[in-house]
């Protein structure tokens, strides 16, 4: 049985995508205010990546956590890209609204993983990283180079991260991806502990994960963390879905129907979305991002919300939730 890195007090964490200026140009002062709100709310699991804002998110977390008791929080970051500083004119176009002046390349070799971890420690100022996720080793990110990079990771990242875990340098490792296949491939080839499952499991879209992902991780004893459990804001009313502007066909009607049923039971779809993810035994934590402090308060409030049983029964009766999906008791 693998040790539990994330316990009941880490059920709600904070994802660092928004802190990295994914959707708007959050200033250093705004980021500090959000992180202060998160800390004061008792949230103690933080996830980021050097990819977010081209190292900006990591630096902001590090600046905030400076002086905090290192035993009080769990921190995860990611490997798979290496960054080098460049003139502003050479910064590649990305999703970030105000990134730092860096270029990057994908690299999943053992040496690259060691360098990436060392770079993250230097940027954050932390003395260790608890969980390391192998980031974006997935066809939606690397395209037809996926087999090449998967082979590179099998010979490099998978082995070196297991060694670092066994040496006690990190506590756990796994995949941090938007697709199911890379997690299944990793489980088949190595011994991960915990995987960050982004855009795979939400109240709006979860059928494939219920059928293929959850049975596989359960059998392997691997836990999951939910990234994009709100479909990157779509559940909250944003007109983007899983970080893209294209909304899947029929999703607007599905969201509207769920919102109407939620109103009938005097609840809301955001609270329900959080509880839906955490109802699955395989999920240890959900890590919504925040671009404003009030969103942090809303997430904490959602965690403690009481969702009527009839709400879940009606969603299942209407076929809005897959019949085999777990829902809260």
Q: What was the pLDDT predicted at 232?
A: 87
SS3 breakdown of the chain: % helix, strand, coil, rounded to 5? 45, 15, 40
What whole-number distance in Å separates Cα of residue 142 and Cα of residue 165? 26
Q: Is 265 a catalytic residue?
A: no
pLDDT of 329 reads 83
Q: How much is the pLDDT for 1?
A: 59
Residue 189: name the closest of 151, 221, 165, 154 by CA: 154
- Please give the C-alpha separations between residue 265 and each of 23, 251, 258, 280, in angstroms, as whole numbers: 32, 21, 11, 22
Instruction: Report DSSP state, residue 211.
Output: I
The bridge status of strand 74-79 relative to strand 131-135 is parallel
Is residue 52 part of the annotated active site? The answer reads yes
pLDDT tens track, the chain, 329 positions: 577 899 999 999 999 999 999 999 999 999 999 999 999 999 999 999 999 999 999 999 999 999 999 999 999 999 999 999 999 999 999 999 999 999 999 999 999 999 999 999 999 999 999 999 999 999 999 999 999 999 999 999 999 999 999 999 999 999 999 999 999 999 999 999 999 999 999 999 999 999 999 999 999 999 999 998 999 889 988 899 998 889 999 999 999 999 999 999 999 999 999 999 999 999 999 999 999 999 999 999 999 999 999 999 999 999 999 999 999 98
For residue 161, the model assigns a pLDDT of 98
Close Cβ partners of 182 (under 8 Å, ≥ 6 residues apart) = 137, 138, 146, 150, 175
**How many other C-beta atoms are found inside a 10 Å radius of the C-beta of residue 216?**
16
pLDDT of res. 256: 96
312 touches 321 (CB < 8 A): yes
Q: What is the pLDDT of residue 82?
A: 98
Classify burial at 195, counting beta carbons within 10 Å of its beta carbon; exposed 0-12, middle 13-18, buried 19 or more. Answer: buried
Which of 47, 107, 136, 193 is labelled catalytic? 47
Cα 295 from Cα 130, distance rounded (Å)? 26
> Rounded CA gap, 131 and 140, in Å?
23
Cβ distance 298 to 274 under 8 Å?
Answer: no
The Cα 229–Cα 276 span in angstroms is 9
Catalytic residue among 45, 56, 78, 102: 78
């Amino acid at each position: 049985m693998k040790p539990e890195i994330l316990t009941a007090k880490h059920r709600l964490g904070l994802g660092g995508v928004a802190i990295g200026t994914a959707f708007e140009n959050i200033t250093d002062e705004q980021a500090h205010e959000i992180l202060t709100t998160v800390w004061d709310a008792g949230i103690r699991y933080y996830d980021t990546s050097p990819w977010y804002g081209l190292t900006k998110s990591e630096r902001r977390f590090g600046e905030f956590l400076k002086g905090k008791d290192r035993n009080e929080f769990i921190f995860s970051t990611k490997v798979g890209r290496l960054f080098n500083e460049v003139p502003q004119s050479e910064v590649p176009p990305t999703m970030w609204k105000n990134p730092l002046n860096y270029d990057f390349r994908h690299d999943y070799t053992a040496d690259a993983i060691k360098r990436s971890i060392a770079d993250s420690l230097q940027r954050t100022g932390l003395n260790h990283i608890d969980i390391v996720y192998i980031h974006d080793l997935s066809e939606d990110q690397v395209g037809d180079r996926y087999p090449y990079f998967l082979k590179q990771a099998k010979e490099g990242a998978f082995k070196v991260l297991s060694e670092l875990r066994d040496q006690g340098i990190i506590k756990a490792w796994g995949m941090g991806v938007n697709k199911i296949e890379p997690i299944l491939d990793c489980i088949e080839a190595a011994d991960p502990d915990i995987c960050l499952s982004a855009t795979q499991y939400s109240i709006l879209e979860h059928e494939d994960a219920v059928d293929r992902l959850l049975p596989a991780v359960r059998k392997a004893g691997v836990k999951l963390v939910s990234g994009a459990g709100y479909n990157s804001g779509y559940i909250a009313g944003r007109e983007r879905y899983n970080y893209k502007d294209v909304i899947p066909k029929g999703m607007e009607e599905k969201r509207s129907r769920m919102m109407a049923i939620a109103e009938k039971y005097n609840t809301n779809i955001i609270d329900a979305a959080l509880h839906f993810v955490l109802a699955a035994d395989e999920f240890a934590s959900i890590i919504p991002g925040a671009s404003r402090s009030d969103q942090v308060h809303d997430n904490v409030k959602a965690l403690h919300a009481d969702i009527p049983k009839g709400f879940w029964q009606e969603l299942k009766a209407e076929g809005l939730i897959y019949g085999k999906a777990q829902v809260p008791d």
